[in-house]
């Protein structure tokens, strides 16, 4: 394959503004466009280019196909005690999941715990964004999302489950830097395959398989990604489908496999208020004690320092806010093509 093209540094606000203008021109109402752009750039800031602005052309295509409704009107479908279910009306994932996160936080403020499912939304992007949103409210956030089969089920030849992600965030004394776990149940997020394609790079052979179920190093040939840790990854994904989709009343995997039908995307946000536990020592202080204990561990050979989940992303985001966000030439070219198609002026920073 060709050598990786150069990347260009783009200022955060310029990238957010251009992304929002593209999404709005592609059919997203203005507030949905801004929310989606903020989520995508949040991922780029943290080095998760797989969930960043490279997704914009596909998001616009989804709106054109009706998979996403740019003017969706999500509505509360059911509420019982600390549990709520929202009908997402195929809202953009950023807007729908933010709505679910805020509802979960509101319920937790009343009951000590809040659980909000959102059915029939769209691609949720980097779900750590929503777990962080809950943590900034001083609560533990647990976020999951579910979609159609995209990942090999361990022991099978092809797609059987999705790459269903899981994120958990716990706030310390600095609300802007919680402990933040954000992981896919796949060996790699599908977006990383897309990022490798945009960057013109090969991928490791244990990332995905082609249409014949054979491992490939060509990102353009990937039909399905592989689960992390074999049966552990596919089993965890399956149980996320149970918690997110079946409990919410919108099964995705069974209808895709048996009926060949795409029932959209679902999400789940759980917020837990530590104050409900009546702890003698403030929870945030305990988090700081735990963080300090982990950081004090002796680094392994070749490791500069021991980091907490999410810490590398926070450090990188601070640097990229100062220096700019590196975007692959392939991604910039596709964004420019979308802009030209829709009569959007391309900022000088992108040329």
Structure token pair of residue 184: 């896919």
What's the CA gap between 190 and 157, in Å, rounded?
17
Give the 3-state secondary structure of residue 220: helix
What's the CA gap between 37 and 40, in Å, rounded?
5
CB atoms within 10 A of CB 7: 17
- One-letter-per-residue 3-state SS of 73-118: CCEEEEEECCEEEEEEEEECHHHHHHHHHHHHHHHHHHHCEEEEEE
What's the CA gap between 337 and 161, in Å, rounded?
33
CA distances from 218 to 60, 145, 329 (A): 25, 27, 18
**Does the annotation mark 123 as catalytic?**
yes
Contact 248, 119 (CB under 8 A): yes
DSSP notation for 239-303: HHHIIIIITTT---HHHHHHH-----EEEEEEEE-GGGG--SS-HHHHHHHHHHHHHTSPPPTT-
What's the CA gap between 188 and 171, in Å, rounded?
27
Q: How far is CA 190 from the centre of its chain?
A: 11
Nearest to 51 by CA among 239, 208, 182: 182
Structure token pair of residue 9: 């540094």
Nearest to 10 by CA among 312, 329, 313, 345: 329
Instruction: Give me the active site residues, please.
Output: 123
């Amino acid at each position: 394959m060709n050598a990786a093209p150069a990347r260009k540094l783009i200022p955060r606000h310029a990238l957010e503004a251009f992304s929002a203008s593209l999404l709005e021109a592609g059919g997203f109402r203005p507030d949905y466009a801004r929310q989606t752009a903020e989520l995508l750039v949040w991922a780029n800031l943290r080095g998760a280019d797989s969930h960043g602005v490279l997704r914009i052309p596909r998001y616009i295509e989804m709106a054109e196909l009706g998979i996403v409704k740019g003017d969706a009107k999500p509505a509360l479908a059911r509420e019982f005690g600390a549990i709520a279910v929202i009908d997402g009306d195929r809202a953009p994932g950023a807007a729908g999941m933010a709505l679910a996160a805020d509802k979960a936080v509101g319920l937790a403020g009343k009951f000590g715990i809040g659980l909000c499912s959102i059915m029939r939304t769209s691609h949720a992007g980097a779900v750590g964004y929503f777990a962080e949103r809950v943590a900034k409210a001083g609560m533990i956030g647990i976020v999951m999302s579910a979609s159609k089969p995209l990942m090999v089920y361990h022991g099978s030849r092809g797609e059987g489950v999705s790459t269903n992600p899981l994120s958990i965030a716990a706030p310390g004394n600095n609300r802007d830097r919680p402990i933040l776990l954000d992981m896919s149940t796949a060996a790699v997020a599908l977006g990383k395959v897309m990022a490798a394609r945009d960057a013109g790079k090969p991928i490791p052979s244990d990332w995905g398989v082609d249409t014949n179920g054979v491992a490939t190093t060509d990102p353009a040939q990937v039909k399905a990604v592989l689960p992390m840790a074999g049966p552990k990854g596919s089993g965890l994904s399956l149980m996320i489908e149970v918690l997110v989709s079946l409990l919410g009343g919108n099964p995705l995997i069974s209808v895709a496999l048996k009926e060949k039908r795409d029932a959209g995307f679902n999400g789940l946000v759980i917020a837990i208020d530590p104050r409900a536990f009546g702890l003698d020592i403030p929870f945030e202080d305990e988090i700081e004690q735990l963080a300090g204990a982990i950081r004090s561990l002796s680094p392994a050979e070749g490791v500069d320092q021991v980091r907490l989940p999410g810490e590398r992303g926070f450090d990188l985001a601070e640097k990229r806010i100062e220096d700019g966000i590196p975007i692959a030439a392939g991604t910039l070219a596709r964004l420019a093509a979308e802009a030209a198609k829709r009569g959007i002026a391309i900022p000088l920073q992108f040329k």
